[in-house]
Structure 1
Amino acid sequence: MRKNLHQRLHTLIHDERGSQLLEFILVFPLVWLLIVFSFDQFSILYNKQKALAAAYEAGRIAAVQPNYGLAAYYAKERGEAELKEGVGVADHDIQLKIRGGGWKKGNHISAIASMTFYLLATGKKYELTESYSMMIENAEDKK
């Protein structure tokens, strides 16, 4: 009887039927988590790059305008065009801030691009803000 039980146990342990299904059941959730994490990371990194590009484009176009009104208009237009190319974008905004006085040649401006978007895999809302500073190059001299 003991030998028969030992043989059955030995056969059960060394039987490989169903092992692939068991491996699939154990590994699939880990692979799925990796895929979901990858999609979310991709959307964050891609939109972060888009926000930085939008801040750069807005600052670059604003720095060469003769007055603040034109600078704000063109910065918003150029920056928002770049932000709209993001993945899952829900909301976006471009702002200009003048540092060091008024709109004068040699002063600096900061273009701030902010966006809210939904992550691809989890659907959660994510916010990010990027900024870029430039020197005002082409301000009109007021006398």
Structure 2
Amino acid sequence: MKSLKGYMRNERGSQLIEFMAVFPMIIMALLFIWQVALVAYTVVVAESAARDGARVAAVGGDYGSAVDRAAHGLQVSSSVSEGMTSYGEEVTVTVKAIVPTIKIPLIGRFEHELTADASMPKEEEED
């Protein structure tokens, strides 16, 4: 009985057991933070690509290649539309970007597409 009480008071290895219990939560938190960073990166790049595409489309250039160059590394699709505003004719470029994801254990991957658009006044061609 005396040795059992001594064994119960012995705390050798308890730190390792506590660490092993908390370690999966630390890894999940790091993966979640990384995924949030990927989403933020996609938002910034998609908005920048839409602005660059709108600038090129405003002067009548190839907006698709401008969007592809600006969003290098992301899967994007773009479209352009023209319209009239109180300031005159303008072009709007819409960019749809697929968010890169990491596979989180027990959750898996999620598919999400972000949309960004930018408008610029259409430039008049000078003769």
Q: What's the TM-score, normalizing by structure 2?
A: 0.80
Aligned residue among 12, 16, 22 for 1:21: 16
Partner residue in 1 for 2:83: 99
Q: How far has the Cα of 1:14 moved from its partner?
A: 3.3
Percent of matched pairs sharing the same residue: 24
Whether 2:96 is the aligned partner of 1:114: answer yes
Q: What's the TM-score, normalizing by structure 1?
A: 0.72
Whether 2:120 is the aligned partner of 1:125: answer no
Distance in 1 (alpha carbons) for counterparts of 2:83 and 2:8 = 75
Greater alpha carbon shift after TM alignment, 12-21 vs 75-84: 12-21
Distance in 1 (alpha carbons) for counterparts of 2:81 and 2:56 = 14
Distance in 2 (alpha carbons) for counterparts of 1:110 and 1:82 = 16
How many residue pairs are counted as aligned between the two chains? Answer: 122
Deviating 4+ runs (over 3 angstroms): 11-14
Q: Which amino acid aligns with 2:100?
A: Y
SS at match of 2:18: helix
Larger Rg computed on CA atoms = 1
Unpaired runs of at least 5, structure 1: 66-70
Partner residue in 1 for 2:42: 47
Q: Which amino acid aligns with 1:85?
A: G
